Amino acid sequence: MRISVLGIISLVVIAEFGAFGQGKKASLPPARKKATVSKAGPIAAPAPSITVPSWLPPDAPYQPAATQFTDLVDTKLDVRFDYAHQYLLGTATLTVHSHFYPQSTLLLDAKGFDIKSIQLVGQKTKPLTYKYDGRQLAVVLDRAYPRDQNYQVRIAYVAKPNELPAGGSEAITSDKGLYFINPLGKEGSKPRQIWTQGETQSSSCWFPTIDHPNQRMTQEITLTVEDKFKTLSNGLLVASRKNSDGTRTDTWRQSLSAAPYLTMLAVGDFAIVPDTWRGKAVEYYVEPKYQSTAKAVFGRTPEMMEFFSKKLGLDFQWEKYAQIAVRDYVSGAMENTTATVHGAAIQATRRELLDVPYET
């Protein structure tokens, strides 16, 4: 039985609104009224015992927010891919500042990387020393930086997601962050693709970051890929150039801040079906054979964006909204800011659409 296509799409659309709301400061609660004394009533029944969900450690059901020592401000990534080894070759330039107390060490999450170099970026570039245990990177700064001073660190690295220990959960069956699908083109008709899945803390499997949902950053991602492939990432495509070696370099920039787990990229042979909402680009990325039916599946997205904008009293804030269907996806869908990822099952031919008229 097919799950409800419109239901999935509407859920991820409203999640996009929620992702923007995460960055807003909460208003102060109204002043409390003076308590009144009432007559004693019947004694309440004791509260039921708490059952710890199976996915939480039984000895630590409370999961506090991560302590913040440093705040992300902006992340710039320049990446290319080694299909034969299924590696990502990257350079990350992180703009950060101390959260409260001055910090002389920058602690980053970076799972299973080869670290090539780390530099402090300024008027003069300085090499920095570091300690790395395969999961957390401790960068020793040249001095303690106060909270009112941004600084930049540049890290050259190789990410090796397939060499990480296997993990995952019931909702997201793998946690290696970056996925190569049919990388060498040897699996028959299956398309070659690369895509990411960051929730809950898997973005740090493909770029160094502070991988906690209480961080916020703007971002720019530059990808060099085979010229025949399409790319997708957060924000808007701000530059694209063809290179002499048959590759193309695309740059995507998101100017509104979001948590690191909402960062995404995708590369592959996709057809892009354009749509629009209030002048903003709305796009559907599907395998080419599903191009003619993409709007039958996704076409009510602008209507949903309009409905939720009016219902919530907050217009959709992000620069664009794209949805992409990928092969061998490890979950149902993921509400990355400006670019939702779906599993390939959401695509349908015209014949298949006849079987689910109640959804379209």
What is the pLDDT, as a whole number, of residue 26?
45
The answer to whether 100 and 147 are in contact (CB under 8 A) is yes
- N- to C-terminal Cα distance for the chain? 15
pTM exceeds 0.75 for this model: yes
The answer to whether 346 and 12 are in contact (CB under 8 A) is no
Residue ranges of the domains in the chain?
A: 70-359
> Residue 267: which of 345, 348, 189, 178 has the closest Cα?
178
Which residues of the chain have a pLDDT value below 70?
A: 1-3, 21-53, 55-56, 58, 60-61, 357-360
Residues 6+ apart with CB under 8 A from 179: 161, 193, 194, 195, 196, 197, 328, 330
The answer to whether 284 and 276 are in contact (CB under 8 A) is no
The dihedral sign for the CA sequence 174, 176, 177, 182: negative
CATH number for the 70-359 domain, one of 3.20.20.150, 3.40.50.2000, 2.60.40.1730, 3.40.190.10? 2.60.40.1730
Residues 6+ apart with CB under 8 A from 280: 316, 319, 320, 321
Residue 271 has which token pair? Answer: 């057809």
Distance CA 15, CA 82 (A): 33
> Residue 300: which of 287, 312, 284, 315 has the closest Cα?
284
Distance CA 199, CA 86 (A): 21
